[in-house]
Amino acid sequence: MDEPIQPDFQGRLLKAIFCRGEPDRVPLVEAGIDLSIKERFLGRPIATPFDEVAFWTEAGYDFVPLSAGLRTIIDAAIHQESSGRFESRDADSDRVAAAKRFAIARLSPQHLTTRKDVGGVRTWAPEGKGFITSLDDLAAFPWPDPADLDLSTLESIGSAAPTGLGVIPFAGAIFSSVMLMMGVETSMLEMAHESRLFQSLIAQVAEFQLEVVRLLLSSPATGGIWINDDLGHKTGLLVNPRLLRKHLFPHYRVIRDLTASREVPLLLHSDGRITEILPDLVDLGFNAIHPIDPNGMDIEETRQTVGPNVCLIGNLSLGQPLGLGTPAEVAAETEALVRKMAPGGAYCFSSGNSIPDYVPYENWLAMRDTALRVGRYPIQGA
Amino acid sequence: MSDLKQLFQAVLDGDADVARETVEALIAAGTKPEAILGQALIPAMDEVGARFERQEFYVPEMLVSARAMQSGLAILRPLLAASGIKASAKAAIGTVQGDLHDIGKNLVIMMLEGAGLEVIDLGVDVPPQRFAEAVRNGAQLVGISALLTTTMAKIPDVIEALEDSGVRPSVKVIVGGAPLNQAFADKIGADGYAPDASQAASLAKRLLSLK
C-alpha cells in the first residue's frame, strides 16, 4: 500500500486538531478499539505496551490512546479487572484496590460484568444505584491518591513509540465519573435537586481528576488530554446546561488552561446530541470534539455552529454501516464522509463512537483502508 | 389555586410528597379518581413531555416529575380498579433479550403511564415469546428497547414471535434505543420508532388513536 502509514503526530494529527490547514492526509482517530480487532490485525496478542504501540503505528494512527484517572479505576472495578491504571496489567496499589473493593461491595451483581461478556450483558455504568448514594457513602469512600497514578506505562509507551507517534491520555472525566459512582438514575435525581451530595461529589471528583491531569501533563510523553464525559443522549443533553455551566465547565476551563500552558490539545468525547452546548465548548477552548454520533448530531450543522477553528472527529455510524453493514457499505460511507468533511482540514476520521467487539473485523478494516486511501490531500472528488 | 391545579403543578415541580397529599385531599373531598387522572396527572405529564421536547426539561426533571406522577397514581390505581374504570389502553414494554439496560425503558414506561396507559414492565433481557405472551394477555402495544447494535439485531425476533403467535395484527409495535432509527424500524416492520421517552408516549397515543 502506498498510503502514508508512518505516524506523524505533530505534522498530521496536531495540524488537523489545531486547525492549521490540510496535512498530508486525514488523520485516523479512535477512542478505543476492541482487543480482538487489534490482536487480529497485529497477528499476535497484545501483552505489552510495545504491542500497543505496534498496533496503533502499523494500523495508521498517529497516537496511542490511554485511560487514566478515576473513571478508569471505577470502570475496572465494574468490569472486575485487575488494573485501574492506563492499560497496564500491573497490580493495583493498595489504595486503588480499596476504592475498587468499596465499589464492588455496594454494586448489585448485575452491574458487575466482565469485558468478555458479549451480547449486551454489559453496562458502562450502573443504571440504578451506584456505590455512592448518600453523604455517608461519600464520607466512607476510600479515595485513591492521584499520586498512585502509575506513569510508567505512559513513559514506557512514550519511549517505545517510534518517531512521530504520540500519546494522548483519556483523563479529566468529571460528569461521567459522578454518574458511574452514583449510578445513572441516582445521579439524575440528585442533580434534579442539585443536592448537597451531588455538589460535594462532583467537587471532590473534579479535584481528583484535575490532579490526575496535572500529573499527566508533568510527563513529556503526554501529547494532549482527551476528556471522555458523556453529556448527551440521543435527542439532547442529559441535564440542564445551567448545571453544566455551574458545576462542570469551570473545571474544564482549568484543564484547558493546563493544556494550553503545555501547548498540547484538549479534546472532548461525549456521546449523544450536545448541540446545545457547542458554543460553550468553543468558548471553553476545546480544540476538538468527538465523535459527532450521526444518530444524534449532524456533522455539517456542527461545523457551522463551531466555526472553522475547532477540529471535528467522527462520525461514521456505529450501527449502520459499521456494526450491521457490509464492508462495501462501510467503504462507501467512509468515502462520502471524507469527501464531505475533510477539505480544508480541521477534521479527523473516526467512527461515531469507538470500535467495540461487535464491529466485524472486516468492517473496521474497510473503514481504515478506505480512509487511508481517499483521505490523502488534496481530497479527490470533494 | 384549585387542588387539581396544585396537583398539576406538583407533578411539574417533581414534588412527590405534595402530589401524594393533594391526591389524598382530592379523594377525601369527593373528586372522582378518573377526574384526578384525566384533569391533572395526564395533562401534567403531557406538559412534562412538551417541556422535554422544547429542552426546558432534561432527564432529571422528567424523572422527578414522573416519580411525582407515580406517587399520585399509586393512590388512584386501586380506586380506579374498584370503580371498574380501565386504562385507555394496555402496553407491554421490555428490553430485548441479551440486553440489560433499563433506564431508557423505565422512562418510557413512566411517560406511557403518564399518558394514561396501563403498562406491563417486562423487564430486561426479555425473550421474544414473553412479548407475544403479553399480547395474548391483552397488551395492545408492545415497546421494545435495545441499547446496543448487537442486541438491536434481535428486535426482529420479537416481531417474528408476534407473527408466529398470530397476534401481530392485534398489536402495535414501537421500538427505541440509542442505535435505532426510523429506517431500522421501517425495515423490520415495526409500527413506529421514537428517539426518546416523550416522543414514545406521543407515538403510542397516535398509534392507539388515543387523545
Minimum mean pLDDT range among A86-90, A243-247, B183-187 = A86-90
Name the domain count of chain B. 2
Residue A13's φ and ψ, nearest 5 degrees, are -65, -50
pLDDT top residue among B87 and A74: B87
Q: Considering only CA atoms, which of A145, A206, A165, A201 is closest in space to residue A65? A: A165
Contacts of A217 (CB under 8 A, 6+ apart): A225, A258, A259, A262, A264
Structural domain count, chain A: 2
**Quick check: B60 contacting A, CB < 8 Å?**
yes
Is there a single domain that holds both residue B203 and residue B104?
yes
Which chain A residues touch B149 with a CB distance below 8 Å?
Answer: 318-319, 323-324, 358
In whole angstroms, give the CA distance from residue A96 to residue A283: 35
Average pLDDT over residues A288-302: 96
Q: What's the average model confidence in pLDDT over A109-134?
A: 61
Residue corresponding to grid cell 475533510: A342
pLDDT, one tens digit per residue, over A13-44 is: 999 999 999 999 999 999 999 999 999 999 99
Q: Are residues A210 and A174 in the same domain?
A: yes
Query: Does position A115 have pLDDT exceeding 60, yes or no?
Result: no
Q: Is the CB of residue B196 less than 8 Å away from at least one CB of chain A?
A: yes
Last residue of a domain, one of B41, B64, B82: B82
Band (pLDDT 50/70/90 cuts) for residue A121 is very low
Q: Tell me the pLDDT tens digit for each residue of A322-379.
A: 998 999 999 999 999 999 999 999 999 999 999 988 899 999 999 999 999 999 999 9
CB A217 within 8 A of CB A254: no
Q: Which residues of chain A are within 8 Å of residue B125 when distances are taken between CB atoms? A: 121
* Cβ B95 vs Cβ B126: under 8 Å: yes
Least-confidence region, from A110-119, A239-248, A307-316: A110-119
Q: Does residue B200 sit in the same domain as residue B124?
A: yes
Using CB atoms, pick whichever of A192, A320, A358 lies closest to residue B63.
Answer: A192
CB of B148 within 8 Å of a chain A CB? The answer is yes
B22 contacts chain A (CB < 8 A): no
pLDDT at B93 over 60: yes
Cβ atoms of A183 and A119 within 8 Å: the answer is no
Per-residue confidence (pLDDT) for residue A120, from 0 to 100? 38
- Domain containing B166: what range? 90-207
β-bridge partners, A312? A289, A347
In this structure, the answer to whether residues A17 and A155 fall within a common structural domain is no
The per-residue pLDDT for range A139-178, each reduced to its tens digit, is: 999 998 887 777 777 887 777 667 789 999 999 999 999 9
Chain B partners within 8 Å of A121 (Cβ): 98-100, 125
Among A290, A307, A334, the domain-final residue is A290
> Is the pLDDT higher at B197 or at A157?
B197
- Using a CB-CB cut-off of 8 Å, the residues of chain B touching A323 are 149-150, 179
Q: Decide if A238 and B58 are in contact by the 8 Å CB cutoff.
A: yes
| Shared domain check, A254 and A187 | yes
- How many CB atoms within 10 Å of residue A2? 7
Whether residues A282 and A296 share a domain: the answer is no
The minimal CB distance from B102 to the residues A122, A127, A236 is found for: A127
Radius of gyration of the CA atoms of chain B, in A: 17
A306 and A359 in one domain?
yes
Residue ending a domain, choose from B59, B82, B105? B82
Both A249 and A309 in a single domain? no
Determine the average pLDDT of the residues in A95-116: 70
Q: Which of A245, A275, A290 is a domain's end point?
A: A290
CATH of residue B19: 1.10.1240.10
The residues on A that touch B, with CB distances below 8 Å, are: 110, 118-123, 127-128, 184-185, 188-189, 191-193, 233-240, 271, 276, 295, 318-320, 323-324, 358
The boundaries of the domain holding residue A37 are 1-59+292-382
Task: Decide: residue A226, CB within 10 A, 0-12 exposed, 13-18 middle, 19+ buried.
Answer: buried
What ipTM goes with this model? 0.90
Mean pLDDT of chain A: 89
Q: Are A55 and A169 within one domain?
A: no
Grid cell for residue B105: 425503558
**Whether A181 and A49 share a structural domain:** no
CATH number for the domain harbouring residue B135: 3.40.50.280
- Residue A163 has a pLDDT of 77
Which CATH number goes with the domain that contains A214? Answer: 3.20.20.210
Exposed e or buried b per residue across A236-274, where buried means at least 16 C-beta atoms within 10 angstroms of its C-beta: bbbbbbebbeebbbebbeebbebbeebebbbbbbbbbbb
pTM value? 0.92
User: Does residue B157 share a domain with residue B76?
Assistant: no
Which range among A110-124, A280-294, B66-80 shows the weakest confidence by mean pLDDT?
Answer: A110-124
pLDDT of residue A335: 98
| Residue B39 sits at the chain A interface (C-beta within 8 Å) | no
Q: What mean pLDDT is predicted for residues B186-196?
A: 95
Going by pLDDT thresholds of 50, 70 and 90, the confidence category of residue A49 is confident
| A271-299 average pLDDT score | 97
Half-sphere exposure of A210 (CA within 13 A, CB side): 17
Quote the Cα angle for B208-B210-B211, to 5°: 155
Same domain, yes or no, for B115 and B178? Answer: yes
Cis peptide before A321 (omega within 30 of 0): yes
> Peptide bond before A109: cis, by omega within 30 degrees of 0?
no
Residue B87 pLDDT > 50: yes
Q: Are residues A268 and A325 located together in one domain of the fold?
A: no
What does the pLDDT look like over B97-153, one tens digit per residue? 988 888 889 999 999 999 999 999 999 999 999 999 999 999 999 999 998 888 898
B186 and B95: one domain? yes
**Residues of A with CB below 8 A from B100's CB?**
110, 120-123
Per-residue pLDDT band at A86 (split at 50, 70, 90): very low
Give yes or no: residues A209 and A95 share one domain: yes
Pairing of strands A232-233, A225-228: unpaired
Domain match, B104 and B198 both: yes
- pLDDT of amino acid A291: 98
What pLDDT is recorded for position B122?
Answer: 97
Count of alpha carbons within 13 Å of A281, Cβ hemisphere only?
27
Is the model's pLDDT at A83 over the cut of 70? Answer: no
Note the pLDDT of residue A126: 67
Q: Are residues A162 and A309 in the same domain?
A: no
